[in-house]
Amino acid sequence: MRLLLLLLLLPAASGVRVPRWVLDGHTCAPPWQVALFRGGRFVCGGTLVAPRWVLTAAHCHAPGPLTVSLGRPSHRQVRPGEPPGEGGSSSSSATPPPGEASPAPGEQRRQVRPFRFPGYNESSKDGDLMLLRLQVPAHLSRQVRPLPPARTCAAPGTTCQISGWGSTTSPQVTFPQELRCSQVRIVPELTCRRTYPDSITPNMVCAGEPHSRADTCQGDSGGPLVCNGRLQGITSWGPGVCGDPRKPGVYVNLCRYGRWLQDTMAQN
C-alpha cells in the first residue's frame, strides 16, 4: 500500500496497482454496504454477505482490531484515514474520526475476526479478498441487509453497480459527504488483459464505462461490484488516475472463490 500523497503522483500507467475510491456517481444507501475502521479511522469499504460475515479486500488487512459499521443513515463523518500498514494522509484529520463518537441513529458497530484468503499475493493483488466474522451478528433491517456472493461469472457487457466513500475527482482528491454509487459494465477479459498486460489473472475482472468517467477511485477499496442482484466483485486496484474510460477498474472475480467462501463461513 502507498501513501495517499504518493498515489496522487503516480501516472496512469497500465501496470500501476492503486487501491481504489466512486467517481461520477450519486448519493445512495445500499443496505449491504459497510465501512471498516481501525482506531477510529476509516480504512475500507466492505459488503455484508451474511448476518455474521462481511467480505472485503485482503489489502485492507491491517495490524490492530478492525471495527465494522453497518446501517449508517448519514456518512458525513466518514473520511479516508491512514492506508493499512502505512501513515495517515493530510486529509485524515479534517473531520473527527467517526469511531470516536457515539453511534449514529440506526448504526451498528461490530468487532471482527479476519480471515484473509491464504493465496493472496500482495504484489500482484491476486486473491485480494478477506472475510470478516462479526463477533455479534448484524441486526437485519431495511437499512442492514446481506447481499449473497455470485455463484456464476458475469457476462461481458453486464451492467453493475459500484459504491464507496472514495474521492469523486482525480488526480486531485475531493471526498464526498455521503456514500456514492455509479454504474459500470463488465469488460471482456481480452480487453482487460490488453489494457493491463501481464497483470490480469483469471481471478480478476475489469469493469468500467466506455462513454463516461464512472469508476472506483483511491479509497473505494474493499467495496462491492453488484451485478444482477449479487455480489460479483470486490474493488481491488486500478491505474493511478481514475475515470479514464480506456482504463477500467479491476475487481476480485468472486465467482472463482465460491468453495473457499462457503468452507470458511461454514467452519468458523
Active-site entry in 128, 170, 182, 220: 128
Residue 263 annotated as catalytic? no
Cell numbers linked to 49: 454477505
Q: How far apart are CA 39 and CA 99, in angstroms?
A: 7
Q: How far apart are CA 184 and CA 181, in angstroms?
A: 10
Residue 139 annotated as catalytic? no
Distance of CA 53 to the CA centre of its chain: 15
Active-site entry in 24, 59, 69, 163: 59
Amino acid at 102: S
Active-site entry in 69, 182, 221, 236: 221
Residue 215 annotated as catalytic? no
Stretch (H or E) spanning 133 = strand 130-134
Residue 124 sits at φ, ψ, to 5 deg, of -90, -15
Residues with Cβ within 8 Å of residue 6, at least 6 apart in sequence: none
Tell whether omega for the bond before 137 is within 30 degrees of 0, i.e. cis.
no
Which of helix, strand or coil describes residue 99? helix
Catalytic residues: 59, 128, 221
